[in-house]
Amino acid sequence: MHELGPADSGADLSEIVAALLARAGADETAAAAIARGAVFVDRARAARPDQRPTAGQVVSVTLSCGGPPELELIAEDEHVLVLAKPAGISSVADLSDRSGSLLGIAEARWGAGLHLLGRLDREVTGVVVALRTASARRRAALLRRAGRIEREYVAVVAPAPAWQERDLDLPIGRHPTDPRLRAAGGREAVPALTRVRVVAERPLEGREGPALVEARPVTGRTHQIRVHLSHAGHPIAGDRAYGGPRRLTRADGEVLACPRVLLHAARLRMPHPGGSGMLEAEAPWPDDLRRIVAALESRR
């Protein structure tokens, strides 16, 4: 990922992509990366090597790894698989992910016929439950309608809230101009509630610093946590779609890049869809989130 500056002026996309691939040590050519749909300028897939991005735009390349990523298995039984979703893959196959999705990778490894209990956005990490049996799917649907699936997320937001705990109770609907996004109070809005608690503030010298928050969605709307926190004035770091900062700066001047949405589905608790006991699962923090929080804490 590279944010263009004055030094990139006049360069066409193929030159910029070639430099990014060389920096990453990749053998692929710029033309091949563009042809396989792996290059984006901001949020739009690039199609022309001679395109000339402008200063301030972000060029990103999804590297070809020679195969799908390994999925971490948290737990399994005859009714469910509990997986830790990595960043950079969609939950299900879509036009933004030609190389595979979490569901496709899981079915290739554990067999077809899986059904995801819920989906995480492409850049979001954490606990995902895949249902293996028809009875588990039926019971999970009833549990969802009854509001008995508890999820807890952690996120880095900036600036930090002035409050310690707050219920963000705002209906969410369609974005007025971008069909991929959602908006508080948008078209066809439906009720949405997220309970948020500040875990720890990380004030940075001379500016409003970020905070680590826990978010518990009571409802399950598309982009709910991202929209609610952004509307409240505390967007998630790395969430460019909803106004989140692309970087954080420590007191010593070190710049911490936030190349993705720093949102992680940390824990899930629900009655077991197989019909016995409780299903509780926790996904470890990904390395990038852990590094950023540790870096902010180190000069606190």
37 & 141 share domain: no
Cα dist. 62→38, 93, 98, 286 in Å? Answer: 5, 16, 11, 18
Q: How many CB atoms lie within 10 A of CB 136?
A: 22
Predicted local distance difference test score (pLDDT) of residue 204: 46
Q: Which of 42, 77, 94, 121 is catalytic?
A: 121
Tens of pLDDT, residue by residue over 167-184, are: 999 999 999 999 999 999
Predicted local distance difference test score (pLDDT) of residue 28: 75
Tens of pLDDT, residue by residue over 198-248, are: 997 665 443 567 899 999 999 999 999 999 999 999 999 999 999 999 888
Nearest one of 119, 94, 86, 118 to 260, comparing CA atoms: 86
Residue found under tokens 């509307």: 231
188 & 49 share domain: no
Q: Residue range 247-253: average pLDDT?
A: 77
pTM for this model (two decimals): 0.78
56 & 109 share domain: no
Residue with the bigger pLDDT between 200 and 83: it is 83
Predicted local distance difference test score (pLDDT) of residue 236: 97
Tens of pLDDT, residue by residue over 99-130, are: 478 999 999 899 999 999 999 999 999 999 99
56: domain CATH number is 3.10.290
Residue with the bigger pLDDT between 9 and 23: it is 23
Predicted local distance difference test score (pLDDT) of residue 98: 47
Identify the domain containing residue 121 by its residue range: 72-298
Tens of pLDDT, residue by residue over 13-33, are: 888 888 888 777 677 788 877
Of the pLDDT bands very low, low, confident and very high (cuts 50, 70, 90), residue 292 is: confident
160 & 274 share domain: yes
Domain final residue, candidates 30, 61, 92: 61
> Is 121 part of the annotated catalytic residue set?
yes
Tens of pLDDT, residue by residue over 31-56, are: 877 876 778 888 777 877 788 887 87
In a domain, 119, yes or no: yes
**Structural domains of the chain, count:** 2
130 & 275 share domain: yes
Q: Residue range 130-141: average pLDDT?
A: 97
Kindly write down the DSSP assignment for every residue of 142-208, as one continuous string: HHHHTT--EEEEEEEESSPPSSSEEEEE--EEE-SS-TT-EEET-EEEE--EEEEEEEEE--BTTB-
Of the pLDDT bands very low, low, confident and very high (cuts 50, 70, 90), residue 66 is: low
Q: Does the pLDDT of residue 9 top 70, yes or no? A: no
In a domain, 67, yes or no: no
Alpha helices by DSSP H, 30-133:
30-35, 102-110
212: domain CATH number is 3.30.2350.10
In a domain, 182, yes or no: yes
Nearest one of 264, 150, 281 to 216, comparing CA atoms: 150
84 & 134 share domain: yes
Mean pLDDT of the chain: 87
CA–CA separation, 184 and 230 (whole Å): 9
Q: Does the pLDDT of residue 162 top 50, yes or no? A: yes
